[in-house]
Amino acid sequence: MKSTKTTYDRRSFLKTSLLSGGGLMLSVSWLSSVNAADKLQALNVPEQWAQLNGYIQITADNVVKLLCPNPEFGQNVMTSLPMMVAEELDVDWKNVVVEMGPHDNAKLGPQFTGGSNSVRMYWKPLREAGATARQLLRDAAAQTWNVPAEEITTKAGVLHHTSGKSATYGEMAGKAATLPIPKGVKLKAPKDFTIVRQSKRNVEGKKIVTGKPLFGLDYKPAGTLVAMIQHPPAFGMKLKSFDAAQALKMPGITNVFNLNLYENGFEQGGFDTRTFNDLLVVVGKTTWEVMNARKKLVAQWEPAGDTTDTMAGRSGKRAVTVPGGLESTTAQLDKMAQYANQPAQQLRKDGDPETAFKNAAQVIERTYNAPFLAHNCMEPMNFFAHVTAEKALLVGPLQAPGWVEPTLSKLLNLPADKIDIQMTRMGGGFGRRAYGQYLYEAALVSKKANAPVKLIYTREDDMTYGIYRPMYTATYRAALDADKSLIAFHVKGGGIPEHPIHANRFPAGAIDNYLAEGWEIPSNITIGAFRAPRSNFNAAAEQSFLDEVAEAMGKDPIAFRLDLLKRAKEKPVGTNNEYDPDRYAGVLELVRDKSNWGKAGVATPGHEQYSRGVAAYFCHNSYAAHVVDMVTRDGQPYVERVFSAMDCGIVVNPDAAKNMVQGAVVDGIGNAFYGALTLKNGAPEQTNFDTYRMIRHNEAPKTVDVHFVENDLDPTGLGEPPFPPVFGAVANALYKNTGRRHYNQPFKPDPEKRTQG
């Protein structure tokens, strides 16, 4: 398909085109280069229009349809995005229908779900789409009735004039599409919202609970074969040879072959990856038959040695060396400890921290460690592909179709306009499905098998095949003077293969003498974005350490943070501070008040008083704070309830937003207590949920009480920001509960599988 260069800014505007049948389509676009005359000439040829975010279609019977551009995996964009359009369009919500759009980078733009950007990115453009449509309809009615457009009002999809004349949107849609596009349409003030800020049910809710085929695993047209990959048993190994004689004798098996994901020198895109490049593939009629045949393969593996990837970058191609060897967690921890004692890259420096630490009356130093984490999407990785010499159809769960298309085009030697990528609902993403290697694998397998195939990962495949949250460590130091005032702060963090440090976030800007450093260790363990990348560890360590510092200073944890934020507001240090001290303080004050933080403890029936922990963090443009109440049951600590405060600007759909925060809290508790993936000689030691511990229903908090700071700021992120501070709040509550600090994640490994380290 033809791509159009795009420019995104806050003044995005809209283009219109006419649908057959007298309907009106409004395309959200940041990309037009045509003039007004060209627009009018193109009205009957909608495919000429470049659409970025989606389109509105108004039928004669007043039904409004929105083609949702963004992939959906539970964050509810298929409800929240059309709500924004419907608000400005001024229609009856029950007349709105939503469909998931196909991948189309020319018409629908960067269809990416990740980085908590969906609502934030589309807030203005989709509202402008609705407002522009409404104005076109008013103009059409004004011409039809020969009255000034200013005299026409709208309500619930109906146009009204003071003379008593009225018409539905559908009656005026055809004429409206022929009119010039109005410029500078006025958007509603937040005080006038009637749909936004009102809870609306998930538009796909009924389909989900009634088992409609919405997910990638549901998609399997007649004649589709099943494919599975046998990958090396360990990172740092590759295929040497194989014997498929016995596998090919198994029932239902049609083919066994090996292929390379990328050929030597292939230039990968920014979000491309290759966990294992040499793939041994089994193709057959059913999942069960392929799984059994795969067991019959006789494969020989050998060390991969150092390998070199060619990566695309803003400054052109670059070669990236991936080290060989079989890595083990014990050795990795030792290596990180060595790197932590060596000079590192300076990321930020304020004042003279070296002198402040030298002259300090007391220095507090703590080191925090966290393991690799597996994404463990509940829907295993899968993708359908049907590739021929002329075209390719790919259908499945994917977070970033626009990012995979260029690479797919090169791999298949097909032009982009011959590739059709269709997105299904995802059974979990968390960053894992932002990387398209499994889609590439499906496409290459289909091409070689000369058949439509459904590539499926088993749970064991997914857990041992990457992509993981990196392994992190960070050492924090605080310097106190004789009056127990904080005079210097130092963080030095590293990881395999990236460091976690956000140098310009709190408490940077609140302390005169501040130093942030980072270092990295190359690895062949494949890593990638994991819900709130880097922040999920950084918040855990930082917020745990701040509690220790507050205790050493004799201060209440929330009061201590608020004091620092007051300093950052009134007399900020440095100029690159990422956060707004007022908004940061706002969530802390809200969670303090809603949780009755000042009380010594609140008894729960049948248990002792709660042990309370607090944490707050800024990431992805939003602010989150949690107070965790922990109890002991049967000798084990459990999070009984959580109070959460969020500042994410205007909340489009309150019930859905609460659900998002509640899910992040449960996810954070589970990962903090149990999440860990370890390696021995390059092989992951956890391969399924019997050894990789997930949180269970009885371990989730009884209540998660969510509150939002009320303001009229444009919406910011919500999918990721609530997640990071959960770790710190759990750690701080656990200290109150057990009497000791926890520096190594997971905090409470499954006693059935391993012991506390």
pLDDT exceeds 90 at position 295:
yes
Per-chain mean pLDDT for the chain: 88
On whether the CB atoms of residues 377 and 429 are closer than 8 A, the answer is: yes
| Tens digits of residue pLDDT in 151-165 | 999 999 999 999 999
- SS3 state of residue 574: coil
| Tens digits of residue pLDDT in 444-463 | 999 999 999 999 999 999 99
Distance of alpha carbon 649 from alpha carbon 23, whole angstroms: 35
The predicted model scores a pTM of 0.90
Domains of the chain: 13-209 (3.30.365.10), 216-309+381-456 (3.30.365.10), 534-738 (3.30.365.10)
Q: Which of 123-127, 616-620, 642-646 has the lowest mean pLDDT?
A: 123-127
Tell me the mean pLDDT in the region 615-624. 97
User: Which ranges in 677-723 belong to alpha helices (H)?
Assistant: none
Virtual CA dihedral for 405, 408, 410, 411, nearest 10 degrees? 180
End-to-end CA distance of the chain: 54
Beta-carbon neighbour count of residue 612 at 10 Å? 23
Residue with the bigger pLDDT between 689 and 50: it is 689
pLDDT exceeds 90 at position 557:
yes
Residue with the bigger pLDDT between 359 and 400: it is 359
Instruction: Locate 652 and state its tokens.
Output: 């489009």
| Sheet hosting strand 513-520, strand order edge to edge | 345-350, 513-520, 486-496, 471-480, 362-370
Confidence of residue 697 (pLDDT cuts 50, 70, 90): very high
pLDDT at 55: 62
pLDDT at 108: 63
pLDDT exceeds 90 at position 24:
no
| Residue 233 backbone dihedrals phi, psi, to 5 degrees | -75, -10
Closest to 672 (Cα-Cα) out of 493, 531, 547, 550: 531
| Residue 454 backbone dihedrals phi, psi, to 5 degrees | -115, 110
On whether the CB atoms of residues 227 and 282 are closer than 8 A, the answer is: yes
- The residue length of the chain stands at 757
Tell me the mean pLDDT in the region 192-202. 95
On whether the CB atoms of residues 651 and 708 are closer than 8 A, the answer is: yes
Distance of alpha carbon 106 from alpha carbon 6, whole angstroms: 9
- Please tell me the number of Cα atoms within 13 Å of 431 on its side-chain side: 21
Distance of alpha carbon 528 from alpha carbon 507, whole angstroms: 26
Confidence of residue 107 (pLDDT cuts 50, 70, 90): low
Distance of alpha carbon 516 from alpha carbon 702, whole angstroms: 39
Residue with tokens 């990457």: 466
Closest to 661 (Cα-Cα) out of 614, 720, 579: 720
Residue with tokens 């990196």: 470
Residue with tokens 């389109």: 55
- SS3 state of residue 251: coil
Distance of alpha carbon 554 from alpha carbon 547, whole angstroms: 10
pLDDT at 171: 87
Q: E-strand spans in 457-499?
A: 468-469, 471-480, 486-496
- SS3 state of residue 403: helix
pLDDT exceeds 90 at position 116:
no
Distance of alpha carbon 79 from alpha carbon 94, whole angstroms: 12
| Tens digits of residue pLDDT in 464-519 | 998 999 999 999 999 999 999 999 999 999 999 999 999 999 999 999 999 999 99
Closest to 241 (Cα-Cα) out of 305, 303, 298: 298
On whether the CB atoms of residues 229 and 461 are closer than 8 A, the answer is: yes
Distance of alpha carbon 270 from alpha carbon 268, whole angstroms: 7
pLDDT exceeds 90 at position 638:
yes
Distance of alpha carbon 384 from alpha carbon 224, whole angstroms: 9
- Residue 22 backbone class (left: φ over 0; alpha: ψ -120 to 50; beta: rest): left
Distance of alpha carbon 576 from alpha carbon 407, whole angstroms: 36
Confidence of residue 114 (pLDDT cuts 50, 70, 90): confident
Tell me the mean pLDDT in the region 588-594. 98
